[in-house]
Structure 1
Amino acid sequence: MQIQINTDRNIEGHEEFSQQVKTKIEGVLNRFSAHVTRVEVHISDENSDKGGINDKRCLMEARLEGRQPIAVTHQAENLDAAVQGAVDKLKKVIESTLGKLDNR
């Protein structure tokens, strides 16, 4: 499973933060690694110059083998919460999608 991290110009995309995000994704989605070929992560600060509540956004797109990509997004007041919310949503959608395939 490949994981690609993208940040906007308002987020410091330093290696330590990227590694934390990758580790979090691998920990949650590891059991689906046979089905997930790639996860793209887009992290942004919606209104960095003004600040505000829930202005950090994390969009995750997972590519499942032989299926259309699955995308989820989560907004929160800090980056960690935005990433955690998105990975939790992605896990639920993948579980649901793969569960439906198993039922066929």
Structure 2
Amino acid sequence: MKVQVNTSNDIDNKDALERWASDYLNEHLGRFDQDITSVEVQLTDENHSNKGGGIDKRCMMEARINGRAPIAVTNYGPDQNLAFRGAADKLEHALEHAFGKLDRREHRVRETIRRDPEALEGTALPPQS
């Protein structure tokens, strides 16, 4: 899965940040790897200052999914680390919800013994007398 990190001018966008974000998201969203083509991350400082004291860091993540509409989440935090981790948790939950609905709605083809006539023969109850 490809991870792209974009930042505002107030946040340092170093290669280390992109590598860390890619490793973190691949670890936490790895089970969706076959369905997700890429994740775009946008980190911004809402008040555009280095003053602390507020929940002013915003992290927006958008997961692009094969054959489906993208899923996007936003999280705010006092620093970019907490904003990023919160958005990653929200994205994981949103993907679990979306793919859970997909499984229920489209009834994906699954292996089951209910369709195997040989398995059913062995489970028949003996006639009662």
Q: Tell me if both proteins adopt one fold, taking TM over 0.5 as the criterion.
A: yes
* Runs of 5+ consecutive residues of structure 2 not aligned to the other structure: 106-129
Question: Counterpart in 2 of 1:83?
Answer: 84
Work out the CA distance in 2 between the residues paired with 1:89 and 1:50. Answer: 26
Deviation of 1:2 (Å): 1.1
Question: What is the DSSP-based 3-state SS (H/G/I as helix, E as strand, rest coil) of the residue aligned with 1:57?
Answer: strand
- What TM-score comes out, normalization by structure 1 length? 0.95
Work out the CA distance in 2 between the residues paired with 1:103 and 1:74. Answer: 28
Please give the root-mean-square deviation of Cα atoms over the aligned residues, in Å: 1.1
Question: Counterpart in 1 of 2:12?
Answer: 12
Q: Is 1:36 matched up with 2:36?
A: yes
Question: What is the DSSP-based 3-state SS (H/G/I as helix, E as strand, rest coil) of the residue aligned with 1:12?
Answer: coil
Paired amino acid for 2:17: F
- What TM-score comes out, normalization by structure 2 length? 0.77
Question: Counterpart in 2 of 1:69?
Answer: 70
Q: Is 1:102 matched up with 2:103?
A: yes
Which structure exhibits the higher relative contact order, with contacts defined as CA atoms closer than 8 Å and separated by 6 or more residues? 1
Question: Counterpart in 2 of 1:53?
Answer: 54
Runs of 4+ in 1 over 6 A off after TM superposition: none
Question: Counterpart in 2 of 1:93?
Answer: 94
Question: Counterpart in 1 of 2:3?
Answer: 3
* Runs of 5+ consecutive residues of structure 1 not aligned to the other structure: none
Q: Highest Rg: 1 or 2?
A: 2
Say how many residue pairs are matched: 104
Q: Deviations over 1:76-97 (max 9, x none)?
A: 0011100000000000000000
Q: Identity, % of aligned pairs?
A: 41
Q: Deviations over 1:14-37 (max 9, x none)?
A: 111221111111110011000001
- Give the structure with the larger strand fraction: 1
Question: Counterpart in 2 of 1:24?
Answer: 24
